[in-house]
A and B are shown apart, each in its own frame.
Chain A
Amino acid sequence: MFDAILLLMLLLLAIAILAGLYRAIKGPSMADRVIALDLISIMMIALIGVVSIYLETDAFLEAILLLGILAFIGAVAFAKYIERGVIIERKRDD
Chain B
Amino acid sequence: MKTNDVILQTVASVSAFIILTFAAYLFFAGHHEPGGGFIGGIVIASALVLLYLAFDMETVQQGIRVDYKILTGIGIGLSTITGVGAMLLGYPFLSHTFEYVTFPFFGEMELATSVLFEVGVSLAVVGATMTIILSISEDV
Residues of A within 8 A of B (CB): 59, 62-63, 65-66, 69-70, 72-73, 76-77, 80, 83-84, 86-92, 94
Contact B57 A90 (CB under 8 A): yes
Interface size on B, residues (CB 8 A): 31
Contact B43 A92 (CB under 8 A): no
Closest 5 A/B residue pairs (Cβ): A88-B137, A92-B56, A89-B56, A88-B52, A91-B58
Contact A90 B26 (CB under 8 A): no
Of A59, A69, A76, the contact of B53 (CB 8 Å cutoff):
A76
Check A77/B46 contact, CB under 8 A, given A62-B35, A92-B59, A94-B3: no
Q: Which residues of A contact B133 (CB under 8 A)?
A: 88
Q: Which residue of A lies closest to B140 (CB)?
A: A90
B4-47 contacts to A, CB under 8 A, are 8, 12, 15, 19, 22, 26, 29, 33-35, 39, 43, 46
Contact B57 A91 (CB under 8 A): yes
B58-84 contacts to A, CB under 8 A, are 58-59
Q: List 21 contacting pairs A-B, 8 Å CB cutoff, sorted by A.
A: A62-B33, A62-B34, A62-B35, A63-B34, A66-B39, A69-B22, A69-B43, A69-B46, A73-B53, A76-B12, A76-B54, A83-B3, A84-B3, A86-B137, A88-B56, A88-B133, A88-B134, A88-B137, A90-B140, A91-B58, A92-B56
A-B contact count (CB 8 A): 60
Residues of B within 8 A of A (CB): 2-3, 8, 12, 15, 19, 22, 26, 29, 33-35, 39, 43, 46, 49-50, 52-59, 133-134, 137-140
CB distance from A30 to the nearest CB of B (A): 18
Check A76/B50 contact, CB under 8 A, given A69-B19, A91-B58: yes
Contact B50 A66 (CB under 8 A): no
Contact A59 B34 (CB under 8 A): yes
Q: Which residues of B contact A92 (CB under 8 A)?
A: 55-56, 59
Q: How far is it, in angstroms, between the C-alpha of A3 and the C-alpha of B46 when the chains are bound?
A: 36
Contact B49 A73 (CB under 8 A): yes
CB distance from B43 to the nearest CB of A (A): 7
Q: Which residues of A contact B54 (CB under 8 A)?
A: 76
